[in-house]
Structure 1
């Protein structure tokens, strides 16, 4: 349940905080019970009682909850789906947030999905348009990228139009990326019926749904062309996206894990659930571990280039003292004192050194030591810094 926020003009929930409020039977899940939870359990005022939700059959449309009949519908949906998400705002003015300091809105989350080159650049109508003037884009279309009637048919990895017969993609991977974007943004459970180096056939996971698309490599060029397309769905949204693999999820939320190393699989699952996408905890945990492995590989790559870094520092800063100590293939300690800072301290600063250090957290497990002086303006003047092992018996 998201509580304490407000609605933007385009039905985005901004501000507020998210809470898990418990497990209920269908008979218990009534308006009165939910309003009591908001006031007594979550501590909000009586006025915070305008409830809304996004039905799975129309995930982009907000529906206000007015009576127990709607609550029964949500309860039955929650039984089949495992959970349901409600949004609560002030009844007198839904565009005023009670706790504006909180920011658990989906606005930033939406930007992640939209800007990622592999997932989510498709508009809600599937045409990838942004509402702006496309005349500039049309002027830049080459003859190779256009059909005979001037209509652009080439599609790249970053944006694409609605699927059409004869539409061209640069490669099989490019076409698969477009399918992934479509599945996530339209919240459709699509699976591959056939996928190899020359042809891809995708169908709806609901066996009775006629949606189907087939694309294969053009015999006269290396591009991939849409050969068969049945674009209408007659199935309902079930909260599952098979093409949203753990690696795709980690690509979308890798910056979230980078900024918050304690971001848990459960929090990731709740973020996806707020988008009406049901992902098992195990897949979220695999995504989390995949991000951590990527961070380790990035760190290994950076440490492997430390000798290049030392060489470049000495070359670009004559008179500098740079020391790197390794034990076998493992990093041990590192020290830097730039020549300009050294001569500046000798020439103009007080002959006093301030020494300090701090522990490095998470994967580093060492200490950062710093030596500073005081300049004539009585400001801190950095002189040297180093990274060493944390204090122990041997050192």
Structure 2
């Protein structure tokens, strides 16, 4: 057998369109790389609110058949079978999520009967039987998992009330969810070989997928779909803040989220878990009625949450006053304190502009880029690092560009001035600069430095 080619062209066939991904290097090319390239090139025009269970198959040279490409091993095999052909034909199709009744017929989403185990049933089209009964061990208990704390939707603040999550996994706790387990939706995933795709099914998926609209109040209903668990958690938090009631999360895991109103005697509760793709989240059970008194001073409205809501408007208005911040937050139905406004404003600005600490940490990379892309320039950084066990502390930096040196030598008067000023940032220091006079008696910078 010959060796694998140095580069391939992958022709993606999707929805009667052909998109070429050129010069793909097979060495180190994984399934994730393929997914990224296909999504970027072929699926970029598809709405991000419409989730897809994507299936990819490549043509086998010399045979009238295809092979599934669904992991790193199959990607490697795809390159091996195309050793003599630098062009790979890859067919991409989506497997949509379609509710069915007990007889496996399409039904109206408002009358669908739900069950805990999601079953892929056989219809006129070719389908695959899959058991997606998910155990907690597969995901682990994530009541305090990193995705809740570190993802873009997370809202953590040490000084405010944290999420109250019950970790009681006893038999008594599990019995509280027996009714949820009997009410989850059956779905069917058609085989991607069928190209007939009914428009009504696409409309069904789009109608159940959550689309955020700031002008409208958030309303939940059974059967709604969300892109992933993080999106559902974020929208749930927005809903709680909008309505103003205390939330208790009984289950807050990657495999299921169950929450109730923590007011005594209130019957409001919601339960959501993944569908067949193990990513898309769906509301499986929902009791919408509240019997408690709403309160706009909701503990869920932390300064982190407020900062996320301010980022968009403060990009356009970075000098927004505290009163403007308060007016913007009142659109979400919250009454922030002065301290929350101060913290949220600072966090939003840090998100937009970055922090001083982050900027100082990028100086070594900047110096390396300067040396590589602007030869004969000078960039020196001094650090204080007594030993290798201690993180280096920035002391001073000196920069002189090649153009500055040449300009001084070839077009400036034989005069050099020197001055400095104090920096008022959180780390202080002094900015020093050396200047000369050019032929027009204008100031010409030669070099500058920041010192302690």
Higher gyration radius (CA): 2
When normalised by structure 1's length, the TM-score is 0.50
